[in-house]
Amino acid sequence: MRLHLIRHPKPLIETGICYGRHDCLAEDVVSVAAGLLAELPVGLPLWTSPLIRCRVLAAHLHPQPIIDDRLAEMHFGNWEGRRWDDISRAELDAWAADVAGYAPPGGESPRDLQRRALDFVASLDVQEAVIVTHAGVIRTLLAHWQGLPPERWTELNFAYGSCTVVDVPR
């Protein structure tokens, strides 16, 4: 199965804010969509995260995007909407010590995010599709498919509005 994994455009949110599930608009959606449409195959089904920064882009890419909650960004719990600088050093250190398994208070761990993203992919019954989602979702999927250990997950970076094409074995 071939997947076109698209990261949403840059969110309209102050720099330095933890915004995982925080719902915010994105910059430059129309021009990002135009660039993506020029490179995407025509007529593919498209699934999107329920967050508005993805849904708005998806609506520019496809007349009937399918919303799936499993494509939402990681839930950062009590960290959502806070400045990274205001999150306790002890909590950030705990996350750094267990990159995949640590869940911020009231949130989910990257491993939990990975499980739901893999569940979504396993539910697809298509040969090729477009997925509009978030860096965390794309990162954990690619880490799984590449067999990367959790300490290397942060090496995977994706530009806003970029498309990563991957062939997933069935």
> Would you say residue 112 lies in a domain?
yes
The band of 170, judged by pLDDT with boundaries at 50, 70 and 90, is confident
Among residues 167, 145, 124, 46, which one has the least CA distance to residue 156?
Answer: 145
> Would you say residue 19 lies in a domain?
no
Give me the mean pLDDT over the 133-138 stretch.
98
> Would you say residue 146 lies in a domain?
yes
> Would you say residue 152 lies in a domain?
yes
The band of 169, judged by pLDDT with boundaries at 50, 70 and 90, is confident
> Would you say residue 18 lies in a domain?
no
CA distance 168 to 170: 6
**Which residues span the domain enclosing 125?**
26-163
Taken in order 70, 75, 80, 84, is the CA torsion positive or negative?
A: negative
> Would you say residue 101 lies in a domain?
yes
Q: Which residues have CB under 8 Å from 116's CB, separation 6+?
A: 70
Angle, CA 33 vertex, CA 28 and CA 38 arms, to 5° = 135
Give the tokens for residue 110: 């990257």
Query: Per-residue pLDDT tens for 109-120?
Result: 999 999 999 999
Query: Per-residue pLDDT tens for 48-97?
Result: 999 999 999 999 999 999 999 999 999 999 999 999 999 999 999 999 99
> Would you say residue 64 lies in a domain?
yes
CATH number at residue 47: 3.40.50.1240
Tokens 């399918």 -> residue? 66
CA 127 distance to own-chain centroid:
21
> Would you say residue 2 lies in a domain?
no
- The count of structural domains within the chain is 1
Q: Which residues have CB under 8 Å from 130's CB, separation 6+?
A: 3, 4, 6, 40, 44, 45, 46, 47, 61, 62
Longest Cα–Cα distance in the chain: 48
Query: Per-residue pLDDT tens for 28-43?
Result: 999 999 999 999 999 9
pLDDT mean across residues, the chain: 96
Cβ neighbourhood burial of 130 (10 Å; 0-12, 13-18, 19+): buried
